[in-house]
C-alpha cells in the first residue's frame, strides 16, 4: 500500500483537479490546488479524519488558487507556491468574474515561497518540489511517495498552454526533459485537468504516448 492516500476532486467553474493527499501513518494532509468549493474540501477532510497542514499550488493561475483564501481562513494552514508565481497573476482579468461567479475572494499571494528541490514534510512522507517553468514561470510539480502532481505542466497525453502571460514552450520542454523524464517509469502522474483519455497515467506510459515527449524530446 502506498504511504499516502490521494483523493482527486474536480472543483470550481473549470473543474480543476484539487488533490487531497494524506499520509496514512499520521493523517496529515496537503491540499493541492484548491480550485473552488471550499466546503467540499473541508467536508472531505472531516470524513477522512485528516489533519490539514499545507495548501500547495502547482502554479498561480487564478482557477488553481481560487479557494486558497477561504481554506486558509477556515483551516489556518499556510499557502505554498513558487516564488515566481506568487502574486504574478494578481492583475488577471478573469479574477473579477471568478469572484462574482463563486462568491470567493482570490488571494494570489503565498505565505511560503517555494524554490526548486525544496522538501516539505507531510507526516511520515516527504514532498519534493520540482520547479518546472514553462506553463508559467513558477510552475512546479510535487513528488511524493512515487506520485507526481503535475498541475498544468504535464497532462495525460498532453502538456499545458504556453501562450499565456509568462509562458514559454522552450522552457516547458526543457522542464519536462530535465526534471520529469528521468523519473522512474512507474511514477504516477496526477494532472491539473482531465484532458486525456484517462484521469491518471505513469511516466513510462507518457514516454510512449505523450507527443510533447515523443516529438520534442525523444525525436526532436
State which residue, 164 or 184, has the beta carbon closest to Zn ion: 164
List residues binding Zn ion (CB under 5 A).
61, 152, 192
Map grid coordinates 504574478 to a residue: 88
Residue with Cβ nearer Zn ion (88 or 125): 88
Gyration radius from the chain CA atoms:
16
Least distance between Zn ion and beta carbon 119 (Å):
24
Nearer of residues 153 and 202 to Zn ion, judged by Cβ: 153
In the complex, the smallest distance separating the C-beta of residue 9 from Zn ion, rounded to whole angstroms, is 15
Looking up cell 477522512 gives 48
Q: How far is the CB of 96 from Zn ion (least distance, A)?
A: 18
Shortest distance, CB of residue 99 to Zn ion, whole angstroms?
18
Nearer to Zn ion, 135 or 179 (CB): 135
What are the CA-CA distances from residue 8 to residues 52, 140, 190, 194 (Å)?
15, 18, 9, 11
Output the nine-digit C-alpha cell for 49: 479524519
- Find out whether 86 and 61 touch, Cβ atoms under 8 Å: no
Helix (H) or strand (E) holding 194: none
Query: In which element (H, E) is residue 132 found?
Result: none
CB 134 within 8 A of CB 175: yes
Amino acid at each position: 500500500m502506498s504511504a499516502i492516500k490521494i483523493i482527486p476532486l474536480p472543483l470550481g467553474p473549470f473543474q480543476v483537479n484539487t488533490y487531497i493527499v494524506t499520509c496514512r501513518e499520521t493523517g496529515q494532509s496537503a491540499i493541492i490546488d484548491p480550485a473552488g468549493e471550499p466546503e467540499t474540501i473541508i467536508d472531505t477532510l472531516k470524513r477522512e479524519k485528516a489533519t490539514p497542514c499545507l495548501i500547495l499550488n502547482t502554479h498561480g493561475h487564478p482557477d488553481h488558487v481560487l479557494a486558497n483564501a477561504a481554506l486558509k481562513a477556515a483551516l489556518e494552514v499556510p499557502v505554498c507556491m513558487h516564488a515566481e508565481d506568487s502574486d504574478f497573476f494578481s492583475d488577471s482579468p478573469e479574477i473579477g468574474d471568478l469572484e462574482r461567479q463563486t462568491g470567493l475572494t482570490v488571494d494570489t499571494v503565498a505565505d511560503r515561497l517555494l524554490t526548486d528541490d525544496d522538501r516539505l514534510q507531510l507526516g511520515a512522507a516527504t514532498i519534493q518540489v520540482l520547479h518546472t517553468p514553462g506553463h508559467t514561470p513558477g510552475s512546479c510539480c510535487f513528488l511524493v511517495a512515487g506520485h507526481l502532481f503535475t498541475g498544468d505542466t504535464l497532462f495525460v497525453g498532453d502538456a499545458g498552454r504556453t501562450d499565456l502571460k509568462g509562458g514559454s514552450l522552450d522552457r516547458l520542454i526543457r522542464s519536462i526533459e530535465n526534471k520529469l523524464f528521468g523519473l522512474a517509469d512507474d511514477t504516477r502522474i496526477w494532472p491539473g485537468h482531465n484532458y486525456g483519455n484517462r484521469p491518471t497515467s505513469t511516466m513510462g506510459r507518457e514516454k510512449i504516448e505523450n507527443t510533447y515527449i515523443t516529438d520534442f524530446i525523444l525525436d526532436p
